[in-house]
Every structure is written in C-alpha cells, then in structure tokens.
DNA sequence: ACATTAAATGTAAGCGCTTACATTTATAAC
DNA sequence: GTTATAAATGTAAGCGCTTACATTTAATGT
C-alpha cells in the first residue's frame, strides 16, 4: 500500500501538501493540487484511516448499541443510521446489549475503548445515574427511546402517552366499552407512558380503568400469549384487547385462536409499534406507528451536527405516533 | 486519558514493559506485572486502540457487508457474527449493499479503507471476477451464500438444491400432483438451485415439470402476490404453490385471500428460509430452515481462525436445510 | 524597484502504541 | 568465583498521518 510519503515523492511536494489536498482545506494552488491527485491516482493511494485517526484524534467512527441485532424493531433503526453516516464517511460500530445491565455496560465500554467519536445508545437496563456519569466523560452520546431530564437535549423520543391515547381512543370510537390491556414491564418508562395514555382516553370517554383487565407483560410474544389466557379467566368480560407492543399482540392472537375466538369478531386486538410483520398477520393488525427509522436518522443527524459540526436538517427530539388502521378491530 | 507513558512513569518501568503486560505475551516477572497493573488501575488507564492498530498493523475490526440491515433475514446473521466477535475483542463495522452492484462495491471499498482485518460479505450483485480480483488484495474475506469455485474454501453455503428438493418432496408426499412454483430471479444461484431441487423431486415422483406452472419472481413480497395472480389465470390447475422464499410466500398468501381461496384447503403454500415471521402468518407457514445464524457464526469463526490464528471449532462450509412442517400444506 | 502582506509550501514534532535489538540481571554449571 | 545461558527489562525507531510554525514565493501598493 502506498503511503503519503510515496505520493509526496512522486508529486515532488512535501508530506504536508499532500495532506492538505487530502483534507482539501488549506490553500493549495491548483497546479500542485493536480500534481498531487495525479500522483495519488498513479499509485492507487488510499489514506490509512488508522493513521489519520491517531494523528487527528478523530476516528470517524460512531458506536451504536442496540438491544438486539435481530428482531423487527432494530433493523429499521440501524438502517436509518447507517444510511446517514455512509454518505459522510463515518462508520458504524455495532454492539448488542441484550437488555441486560452488565452487557449494556460492557457494550458501552467496548465502544468507547474503540475510540468512537460518539455513541448512539438504545439502552434499557442501565441506570439514569450511570448515563449521567457517562455524560461527563469524553465521548458524547445520544439516547434513543429514553428520557433523562438532565440529558433532555440528547434524548430522542416518541410521544408514548399520545400513542397510548390514540390506540385506546380508536378502540373506544369503534364502540368498545370493555377493554383489556397487556402492558410492558412496569419499570420501563415507555410501558408506563403507553398505559398512561390508555387511561387518559378511558377517562375522556368517562370509563373507569379496571385493574382486573390489566395484565403486565414484558413486551415479548410469550407474555402476550399468557396475558390473554390469564385475562380470559377472570370474570370481567371484554370485547377488545390493547397490547403495548406488536409482539405481544401477535402472541395474544395465537392465544385467541387457541381459545377458539374468531378474530376480530369476538375479540378486537390492537398493537403498538407498527413493526413490519403486522401487515402479515391475519387479520392484519391495527397498530400505532413508531417512526423508528426516522428517529435513527435523527440520532445520526444529531451526531453529525453536534460532534462533527456538520450542516444538518434541524434537530428534533420528540416524535409523534400515528394510528394505523387495519383489520383487527371490529365495529361494536 | 492516561497514556502508556504515564503508566510506565508511575510504575517505574519502561514503555516496553507496560506494553508487554498489556499484551501479556512476553516474559515479565510477577512483581513488575503487579506494579504495572496497579498503576493502570490507579490511573484508570485504557489502551488507545487506534494507536495499537497503527503500531501493530492490525485494527481488530472486521467489516460486514449485508444487503439490508433490516428485514428478517440479516438480523439473525449479524447477531451470530456479533456474538462471536464480541468475546474476542474484535469489532464489527457494518455496511449495507442493497443488492446493487455499485453500492456493494462502494461498501467493500469503504470497509477496506477503514482498515478492516477481514471482511464478511453477503453480496449478490457484484461479479465473480470482481471477487476473484478482490481475493488477490491484502484484505481476506469470506463469502456467505455465494459459490465461486476459485474461492470455494471461503464460501459458506446452504445446500439449496437439497432444500428445494425437500420442499417439493414434502408437498408431493401430501398427495399434491399439480404444483406451481414461484422462483427467485434466474440470475441468482440460490434461486437456480432451489428450482433445480424442485425439479429433482418432481422427477423422483415421475411428474413432469410444467413451464406454465412456473412464475419468476424476485424474492420480494410483491412478486409473490403478482406471481400467484398470474398463475391463477393460466389454464393448468394446481393445488399447491411452492415459493422460493418466505417473503414471496407471504405475498402469495395475501393474493390467495384476494382471490377468495381458503388456505390451506384450496391452496397449499410452501415457503423457504424459515424467517421468524413464518410462525405469525395464518396459517402458519410450512417452510425450509435456513440456519443463517449458525452460518454467520461460522463466518466469524472462519475469520478468527484464518485471520487471527485463533483456536476455533472446526470450520464447516456447507450447511444443510431442514423441513419445518407447520400448517400451510393440506393433505390431498 | 522596494517594502508590505497574503498565499503557498516545507519542516519537523508529535499522536500512543509495538517491537527488534541492546542491555542488564538472575540462574545454573563448573 | 567465573563463565555461559536464559530471563527480564530498557532503548529507540518506527507505524502513516496531521498540524503548528517557519520559510519561501507571489501579489499588491507606492
């Protein structure tokens, strides 16, 4: 591999000049610029990015920590981020945290030790305090789907209360009065917010929230399955079920079929996230759109703007959910 | 950030000795090793991986090029790879090629210019010649789901002929005699192989392959939809449809419903890949398992073994498909 | 033509490590 | 106590760039 030294030799200029044309900032005359690029072409020169990083103290890499590399949720997010960075010559180092505190911390440590210029974190298990302390460190980061008031300018969020409200309101508008709810884990903020929105809509329709119609799941498919089974056994009847995410909704659908319920006639089911497979289930799932791809893009823009001082579209931190009507809610 | 220099100062030893304890190879006495690690702890020292890379000419990073970051297929693959590398201190730089020749080349160039020690490629559009030329370069790579005879030792493959055979054989065993087929694009080897397997099974049952029952799709959902619509209009009736992947199968399912066919009674549908959402569609899709996660792991092991000279489980390059029976095939 | 200033280029010191080689110290053999 | 040999440590030269600063060259004003 040719080095900058050989290029400078061939072009008959100094190292510094070659470096200048590479970073095309400084004042270089057109004539020498041409000489240099010609030499580069002739040698097939490619700058060594490691050496550049060491000398400039900028690795041009940003770390991304997600809970899972697989699953329907993170793909679009990663995709949005990768897309934005690729055009800017930045690269993405990816790690998975598996929603486990230790592994999330490890992942963050790992990414920092790889000299990432910035981090994009979708973390769940790590504490607020940890993140606040991290924010004092040298590596800037932005959070997706997590709110910490001390770090509010770097939290990219969905308005989950609104989403929860929209979901329940739609079900109510179809005439349902007895609505069961399978929530996410109580310690997760998004789960709490979605439930909060649910209660708001109920209140708006002068309906009381019934604890018996609440099952606490964990956002995984299996808990949707178990949830409906459990709810089906208690005494308060219901005609609709709202699930705090699509995975649980799909689990509930399987459960409903096992219970012999025809969908959506005997039970309406609402999801949340608008994950891509919601169009594939039968009946197609009515759900709330989570613009995760856009939010990923925004996180990338945040980094470009705040860390690399690039021109970007205006930064936005709060995103709005949207109702997606399909066929899983029946008219009552 | 503390540097190796400060550590050596505090520990009262030379740079070289500190470096030695970091790479715990050379002969260092227990006493000095302790002194050094103590100094490291005290300073909260973390080696600068960029400097390490420059000096050692090894970036400890491996590039991964996939077609898409989203979608059901690549998630498990990336996951398998990330998992394997994380424990070894290697990191993954990810890029997407979008099945487009130019973008795939760009992605490869990009990864190489980031000084990856090795590449794992899932490429489709780039030519054999290009890859053969690439193999002469300084960056070693392994291919997933692509066979090039000149590079056969670094091609990690699924036995697609066998998979195609298994799929059709199962359908035949359920008593179907008239079987339509929606294939992938004719220029893709895996599509050709799957179709080849289909024909083999047909021959084994003394059935003739009927061109009228073949529709060429492109592995995307929409082409499954269009495919069934088209097949439904030709004159040769059929009771089963085999799709060369799950996405097209799902598209065909939607099409079937639009045509008023009840599934699987009036039409049996078989998929391929065993992507995770096949369990969620209704009826649950019978399909062929593609052990993509394991193949990802194997690619990572290949790199660990061949590039980093690590001990790994024995390398394997050919993987076997497996029939997954669910509920989308009726008994005839 | 000369001084003044700006633009273009060169010089050389790092960035934080690794590693070949040189040197010192400990261990063993006689 | 020597000398031979191995183990432990130190020295210093890079790895391929960037960049502050110094120097040269060109442009401008008078």
- Which residues have CB under 7 A from strand C? A 12-17, 20, 26-29, 31-33, 51, 54-55, 57; B 1, 3-5, 15-16, 19-20, 22-23, 45, 47-48, 51-52, 54-56
Reduced to 3 states (helix: H, G, I; strand: E, B; else coil), residue B63 is strand
Residue B308 CA distance to nucleotide D6 C1' (Å): 30
Give the Cα separation of A133 and A155 in Å (integer): 15
Our separate counts of H helices and E strands in chain A read 12, 12
What is the pLDDT, as a whole number, of residue A175? 96
- Reply yes or no on whether the pLDDT at A25 is more than 80: no
**CA distance readout (Å), B253 to A13, A275, B238, B242, B250:** 66, 19, 15, 11, 5
Bases of chain C within 7 A of a CB of the protein: 7-20
CA nearest to A194, candidates A124, A123, A249, A244: A244
What CATH number should be reported for the domain whose range is A60-158+292-320?
A: 3.40.50.2300
What is the pLDDT, as a whole number, of residue A93? 92
CB-count burial class (<10 Å; 0-12, 13-18, 19+) for B318: exposed
Q: What is the mean pLDDT of residues B238-249?
A: 97
What is the pLDDT, as a whole number, of residue B87? 83
What is the pLDDT, as a whole number, of residue A89? 83
- Asked whether the beta carbons of residue A91 and residue B75 sit closer than 8 angstroms, the reply is no
**CA distance readout (Å), B100 to A1, A16, A48, A240, B106:** 28, 38, 26, 45, 10
B76-96 per-position pLDDT tens digit: 999 999 999 988 889 899 999
CA nearest to A72, candidates A281, A227, A263: A281
What is the pLDDT, as a whole number, of residue B38? 94
- Asked whether the beta carbons of residue B280 and residue A250 sit closer than 8 angstroms, the reply is yes
The answer to whether the B4-47 and B60-158+292-319 domains have the same CATH topology is no
What is the largest distance, in Å, between two alpha-carbon atoms of chain B?
88
In A182-195, which positions are buried (b, 16+ CB within 10 angstroms) versus exposed (e)? Answer: bbbbeebebbbbbb
Q: Which nucleotide is nearest to B48 (CA to C1')?
A: C16
B274-308 per-position pLDDT tens digit: 998 898 888 999 999 999 999 999 999 999 999 99
What is the pLDDT, as a whole number, of residue B280? 85
A129-165 per-position pLDDT tens digit: 999 999 998 899 999 999 999 999 999 999 999 999 9
What is the pLDDT, as a whole number, of residue B86? 85
Q: In what order do the strands lie in the sheet with A268-270?
A: A214-216, A179-183, A240-243, A268-270
Tell me the domain boundaries of chain A.
4-47, 60-158+292-320, 160-290
What is the pLDDT, as a whole number, of residue A118? 96
How big is the CA angle at B8 (ends B5 and B9), to the nearest 5 degrees?
A: 85
- Asked whether the beta carbons of residue A69 and residue B46 sit closer than 8 angstroms, the reply is no
Q: Which nucleotide is nearest to A8 (CA to C1')?
A: C10
- Reply yes or no on whether the pLDDT at A282 is more than 90: no
Give the Cα separation of B131 and B189 in Å (integer): 15
Q: How far is B69 from chain A (nearest CA, A)?
A: 5
B47-73 per-position pLDDT tens digit: 999 999 999 999 999 999 999 999 889
In the numeric block, which tokens belong to residue A16? Answer: 């510094």
- Reply yes or no on whether the pLDDT at B113 is more than 90: no
Q: What is the mean pLDDT of residues B29-33?
A: 91
- Reply yes or no on whether the pLDDT at B13 is more than 90: yes
B58 touches strand D (CB under 7 A): no
What is the pLDDT, as a whole number, of residue A71? 84
- Reply yes or no on whether the pLDDT at B144 is more than 90: yes
- Reply yes or no on whether the pLDDT at B26 is more than 80: no
Q: What is the mean pLDDT of residues B150-179?
A: 97
Q: Which nucleotide is nearest to A2 (CA to C1')?
A: D16
pLDDT band at B318 (very low <50, low <70, confident <90, very high): very high
Q: What is the mean pLDDT of residues A235-252?
A: 96
Q: Fold for domain B60-158+292-319?
A: Rossmann fold (3.40.50)
Sign of CA dihedral A289, A272, A71, A316: positive
Residue A32 CA distance to nucleotide C9 C1' (Å): 10
CATH top-level class for A160-290? alpha beta
What values do phi and psi take at B140, rounded to 5? -70, 155
Q: Which residues of B touch A79 (CB under 8 A)?
A: 68-70, 96
CB-count burial class (<10 Å; 0-12, 13-18, 19+) for A311: exposed
**CA distance readout (Å), B105 to A102, A320, B125:** 38, 37, 9
Reduced to 3 states (helix: H, G, I; strand: E, B; else coil), residue A199 is helix
A20 touches strand D (CB under 7 A): yes
Nearest CA in chain B to A59: B50
What is the pLDDT, as a whole number, of residue A7? 93
- Reply yes or no on whether the pLDDT at B329 is more than 80: yes
What is the pLDDT, as a whole number, of residue B27? 80
The mean of the pLDDT values for chain A is 94
CA nearest to A308, candidates A84, A72, A58: A58
Give the Cα separation of A232 and A269 in Å (integer): 14
Q: What is the mean pLDDT of residues B166-195?
A: 96
Residue B146 CA distance to nucleotide C19 C1' (Å): 40
- Reply yes or no on whether the pLDDT at B215 is more than 90: yes
Residue numbers of B between 97 and 156 with CB closer than 8 Å to A: 107, 110, 112-115, 138
Give the Cα separation of B96 and B68 in Å (integer): 5
What percentage of chain A exceeds 70 in pLDDT? 100
The mean of the pLDDT values for chain B is 94
What percentage of chain B exceeds 70 in pLDDT? 100
- Reply yes or no on whether the pLDDT at A78 is more than 80: yes
What is the pLDDT, as a whole number, of residue B88? 87
- Asked whether the beta carbons of residue B69 and residue A86 sit closer than 8 angstroms, the reply is no
In the numeric block, which tokens belong to residue A1? Answer: 């591999």
- Reply yes or no on whether the pLDDT at B25 is more than 80: no
Q: What is the mean pLDDT of residues B119-136?
A: 95
Asked if B48 has any chain A CB less than 8 Å from its own CB, the reply is yes
Q: Fold for domain B4-47?
A: 434 Repressor (Amino-terminal Domain) (1.10.260)
Asked if A96 has any chain B CB less than 8 Å from its own CB, the reply is yes
A156-207 per-position pLDDT tens digit: 999 999 999 999 999 999 999 999 999 999 988 999 999 999 999 999 999 9
DSSP state of B286: B
């Amino acid at each position: 591999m040719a080095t900058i030294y050989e290029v400078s030799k061939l072009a008959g200029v100094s190292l510094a000049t070659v470096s200048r044309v590479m970073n095309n900032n400084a004042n270089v005359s057109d004539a020498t610029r041409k000489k240099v690029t010609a030499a580069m072409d002739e040698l097939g020169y490619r700058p060594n990015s490691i050496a550049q990083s060491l000398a400039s103290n900028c690795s041009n890499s940003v770390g991304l920590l997600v809970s899972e590399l697989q699953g329907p949720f993170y793909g679009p997010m990663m995709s949005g981020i990768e897309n934005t960075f690729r055009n800017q010559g930045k690269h993405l180092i990816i790690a998975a945290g598996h929603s486990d505190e230790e592994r999330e911390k490890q992942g963050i440590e790992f990414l920092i030790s790889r000299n990432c210029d910035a981090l994009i974190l979708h973390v769940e298990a790590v504490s607020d305090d940890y993140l606040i302390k991290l924010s004092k460190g040298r590596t800037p980061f932005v959070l997706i789907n997590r709110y910490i008031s001390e770090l509010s300018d770097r939290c990219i969020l969905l308005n989950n209360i609104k989403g929860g409200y929209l979901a329940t309101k739609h079900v109510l508008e179809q005439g349902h009065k007895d609505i069961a709810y399978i929530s996410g884990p109580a310690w997760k903020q998004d789960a709490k917010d979605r439930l909060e929105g649910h209660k708001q809509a109920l209140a708006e329709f002068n309906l009381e929230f019934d604890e018996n119609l609440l099952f606490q799941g964990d956002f995984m498919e299996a808990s949707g399955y178990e949830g409906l089974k459990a709810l089906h056994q208690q005494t308060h009847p219901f005609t609709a079920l709202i699930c705090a995410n699509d995975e649980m909704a799909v689990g509930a659908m399987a459960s409903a079929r096992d219970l012999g319920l025809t969908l959506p006639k005997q039970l309406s089911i609402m999801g949340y996230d608008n994950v891509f497979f919601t169009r594939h289930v039968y009946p197609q799932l009515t759900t709330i759109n989570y613009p995760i791809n856009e939010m990923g893009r925004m996180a990338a823009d945040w980094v470009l703007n705040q860390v690399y001082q690039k021109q970007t579209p205006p930064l936005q931190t709060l995103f709005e959910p949207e109702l997606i009507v399909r066929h899983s809610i029946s008219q009552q």
